[in-house]
Chain A
Amino acid sequence: MRHLLSINDLSATDAIGILDTATELARINDGQVKKLPTLRGRTIVNLFAEDSTRTRISFEAAAKRLSADVINFSAKGSSLSKGESLKDTAQTLQAMGADAVVIRHSASGAAQRLADLEWMSGSVINAGDGTHEHPSQALLDAFTIRKHLGKGASDLKGLRIAIVGDVLHSRVARSNVLLLSMLGADVVLVAPPTLLPVGVENWPATISYDFDSVIPNVDAIMMLRVQQERMSDLFFPNSREYSRYFGLNSERMSVMAKHAIVMHPGPMNRGLEIAADVADSARSVIVEQVTNGVNVRMAILYVLLAGGPLEVGSN
């Protein structure tokens, strides 16, 4: 595997290999060894052509813990904001000898273009492209679900997971539907019909417009960020009505199964799609998702740049 552009690039075995590698790296990390020498001398560029805090920091931390040199390249103040094309930027990075580029971009398919056009020879890791995919987020979500609900299994067979909110514009939802279903979970998408894409009936997921009927029957609820500006595009009448039907509040949380967890990729709109007391509750694994994110991204870099998954039980 050279690039990680889409969950479609992975087989179930590949995905489990990344999750197992992340588990191993987490174990090593907990044993106080914060830094591994694996990628010493390698250069990883964070090319963030769209604002992002947590994903960029997460990849940066992951790369540094593997001893790679990290160059951050953000849209603001860079040549990207001065109208330089993606092609020119990529060729510049290539000239600087990047071994991998982690790219976040507002255009769907930007990561694939970077990889397909051979503008550069290194690995391309998609850190979110438009409304297409965000594979590292899906992998960290699967990792978190497996850790809490997996009962020692390597995959997610038999688990039911609800993804709730703005599926139409969500790269997190697209990657998660592909990955979670590939790992054997049943995925149900819950959203107002306006926020589901035409064609969603062909996705490996079921659809519901009725959040309340779904809540008691799932093992995990993944809330998606809803942007306030969607209102002006007529996707829903106003934020209060959205919250009333699709927000996760404490009343709704109270009918969840005892073991069920609450997830959110962040950043949250507290009070819109998720109530503050739910986000901060014992069921919430939202902060842990961030921690797991670093380990999973270390695993991705490890698999792509160090030649394959880490053997279980290694040191």
Chain B
Amino acid sequence: MTTQRFLLKGGKVLGADTADLLISNGRIEAMSASITDESATVIDLKGSVVLPGLVDLHTHLREPGREDSETVASASRAGAKGGFTALSAMANTSPVADTAGVVEQVYRLGQEAGLVDVFPIGAVTQGLKGEQLSEIGAMADSVARVRVFSDDGNCVFDPLVMRRALEYIKKFDGVIAQHAQEPRLTVGSQMNEGVVSSKLGLKGWPAIAEEAIIARDVLLADHVQSRLHICHVTTAGGVEIIRWAKARGIQVTAEVTPHHLLLTDDLASSYDPVFKVNPPLRTERDVIALREALADGTIDIVATDHAPHTSETKDCEWAEASFGMIGLETALSIVTKTMVESGLLDWAGVAQRMSTAPASIGRYAHHGQQLVVGAPAHITVINPTKSWVVDRDLVLSKSRNTPYHGYELPGLVTHTFFAGQATMLDSKVIDKAVQ
């Protein structure tokens, strides 16, 4: 590793006071109103906002198994571009991340790419089948030190399996991240069930299918006194249940995706599968409830659910298409648009929900820390006065299934520092070999 020093001058830390930051040896070496250092590379950040490096708790990196849609390395580049310094690799790879061997492989690939920390998420059950627990303890004890377990893509539907999993992970302070989807209520479902689905003739995906599982699982988590995390909440009703559970003292956290903060189910009217996602886009009323819940802390974090897919699985009929959209490179801009520009969150609030809280839920010790002298130099810089136009042909992800193609979005992420290394300078990702 090089020991390049960077002096970040004139940025607003968490959008508040202007300060200079000196980065050296992977840490914030100094931070004050005015620093001079002739050996450092000076970066002028006037007008920009300095945030702790973003942490994504929900990322599909597709490796091993579907390297045609994404690899750990390509997702790492997309992550750096979006201002992330840590990603959480979902377990639904091929083979499934249900053994220590697979999670160690993914972890190692992340280290080799060297642009972000890649924290593998372990499968709750073998093969994501919902029947037998996977090697949860072995994954927790592995080099990857897995703390988050999820069958994401599938719901841990059997209540007994869910209960046992919640109990088992208490041994090492783990958390179960539930994909809340009642399977019998969503057989063949294609989009949110409501006015739009009735007109389009696409099979409905009722909000209750999500809410019923959230309700069951907060009660289970309460009963066994364990940690539950609800992936990608999409409904106003789900928000109400989580609000109730938190008021009761249940250890539940929740995430919302950027796309569920912005997009609604009427986009399906185009039958363009770029808008086909699991869980589905909901209604305007749900979007408003999700934004309010993220603002008041009922929903703890924003997670991307970045889900790359090759073009042939999207360039087809709606019913044939895969579920999912990419989101790493647009996440902070979407949060800027929906939460900051609307006045619902300030930049400290964004840092809490996109860095501190997700790192805390995942027990990612070196991430999500306050920007203070001595802290690891995971830093993201956004210029909120600049806007940019999303072009699916220019994304760094290997897949192009962004729903925002052609959108002009506010907030340009310009710099990312990962453990003191510049992984992006002036919106250009710097690969490890170059560093």
Contact = CB atoms under 8 A, between A and B. Distances in A.
B317 A105 contact: yes
B201 A202 contact: no
Interface residues of B, number: 24
Interface in B98-124: none
A186 interface: no
Contacts of B318: 107-109, 113
Contacts of A132: 200-202
Contact of A197 (B197, B272, B316, B319): B197
A174 B272 contact: no
A112 interface: yes
Interface string B310-352: 0010011111100000000000000000000000000000000
A198 B204 contact: yes
Given A116-B272, A199-B197, A202-B195, A109 B202 contact: yes
Contacts of A110: 317
A86 B317 contact: yes
Contact of B317 (A109, A197, A198, A200): A109
B2 interface: no
B201 A171 contact: yes
A129 B200 CA distance: 10
A116 B315 CA distance: 12
Contacts of A245: none
Nearest to B194: A199
B271 interface: yes
Nearest to B193: A198
B161 interface: no
Interface in A131-145: 131-133
A199 B195 CA distance: 4
Nearest to A87: B315
A97 interface: no
A235 interface: no
A104 to B, nearest CB: 13
Contacts of B197: 197-199
Contacts of B203: 131
A30 B202 CA distance: 41
Given A85-B312, A109-B317, A130 B201 contact: yes
Contacts of B43: none
A197 B197 CA distance: 8
A105 B316 CA distance: 12
B198 interface: yes
A116 B270 contact: yes
Contacts of B202: 108-109, 130-132
A130 B316 contact: no
Contacts of A133: 201
Nearest to B204: A198
B186 to A, nearest CB: 13
A199 B198 contact: yes
Nearest to B273: A113
B206 interface: yes
Interface string A69-111: 0000000000000000111000000000000000001111110
Contacts of B272: 113, 116
B199 interface: yes
A35 to B, nearest CB: 36
B277 interface: no
Contacts of A105: 317
A113 B271 contact: yes
Contacts of B199: 174, 199, 203
Interface in B215-252: none
B198 A108 contact: no
B322 to A, nearest CB: 13
Contact of A198 (B190, B206, B271, B320): B206
B198 A107 contact: no
Contacts of B271: 108-109, 112-113, 116
Q: Which interface residue of B197, B200, B206 has the most chain A CB atoms within 10 A?
A: B200
B30 interface: no
A113 B317 contact: yes
Contacts of A87: 315-316
A86 B318 CA distance: 11
Contacts of B320: 86, 107
A230 B193 CA distance: 19
B207 to A, nearest CB: 10
Contacts of A109: 200-202, 271, 317-318
Interface centre among A87, A106, A117, A197 (most CB of B within 10 A): A197
A203 B198 contact: yes
Which of A109, A116, A130, A198 has the most chain B CB atoms inside 10 A of its CB? A109
B190 to A, nearest CB: 8
Interface in A16-36: none
Contacts of B317: 86, 105, 107, 109-110, 113
A254 B230 CA distance: 58
Contacts of B190: 108
A172 to B, nearest CB: 11
Nearest to A168: B198
B318 to A, nearest CB: 5
Interface string B258-287: 000000000000111000000000000000
Contacts of A174: 199, 201
B196, B201, B318, B319: most-surrounded residue (chain A CB, <10 A): B201
A116 B271 CA distance: 9
A110 B317 CA distance: 6
Contacts of B312: 85
A86 B313 CA distance: 12
B282 to A, nearest CB: 13
A108 B201 contact: yes
Given A113-B271, A199-B194, A108 B200 contact: yes
A200 B196 CA distance: 10
Interface string A278-314: 0000000000000000000000000000000000000
Interface string B350-380: 0000000000000000000000000000000
A202 B198 contact: yes
30 contacts: A86-B316, A86-B317, A87-B316, A106-B319, A107-B320, A108-B200, A108-B318, A108-B319, A109-B200, A109-B271, A110-B317, A112-B271, A113-B271, A113-B272, A113-B316, A116-B270, A116-B272, A131-B202, A132-B201, A174-B199, A197-B197, A198-B194, A198-B198, A198-B204, A199-B193, A199-B194, A199-B199, A199-B204, A200-B198, A202-B198
Given A132-B201, A199-B204, 17 more contacts: A86-B316, A86-B320, A107-B317, A107-B320, A109-B200, A112-B271, A113-B272, A113-B317, A113-B318, A129-B201, A130-B202, A131-B201, A131-B202, A171-B201, A198-B204, A198-B206, A199-B194
Nearest first, the 4 A-B pairs at minimum CB distance are: A109-B271, A199-B198, A132-B201, A107-B317
